[in-house]
Amino acid sequence: MRTYQNQFGYPIDSEASQLLALGLVDSSWGNDVCPSFTHEGLKILVWVDHPDQDMREIETNPRYCISQLDENLEICTEGLLCGTEDFQEVLQFISNAKGA
């Protein structure tokens, strides 16, 4: 079974545990640029990149990104719903989406 732990070798345990507690599932795959977590009901994919910006595959990307998923749970190409260096903004985005 693929998990962020066996697909990527950097520490995101705190973020991962919070995302999993909110109902997201680990959808990480080693061919992606960073670990990801999916919420099928909200149709979002949360990316959690390396804490060290110099170690990111795409150094210009924010550490945390949220992508919209379509009805087939494929990433929409319209751009990011959220991109930030602050994990609290990710949690707020998810909370707001759940409340809508």
The 3-class secondary structure across the chain, one letter per residue, is: CCCHHHHCCCCCHHHHHHHHHCCCEECCCCCCCCCEEEECCCCEEEEECCCCHHHCCCCCCCCEEEEEECCCCCEEEEEEEEEECCHHHHHHHHHHHHHC
Q: Mean pLDDT per segment of 10 residues, for the chain of length 100 residues?
A: 92 95 97 97 97 92 96 89 97 91
In this prediction, residue 30 carries a pLDDT of: 93
In this prediction, residue 100 carries a pLDDT of: 60
In this prediction, residue 56 carries a pLDDT of: 94
Q: Could you give the C-alpha distances from 94 to 16, 31, 83, in angstroms and in order?
A: 14, 25, 13
- How many domains are there within the chain? 1
Structural domain containing residue 95: 4-99
- Predicted TM-score (pTM) of the model is 0.94
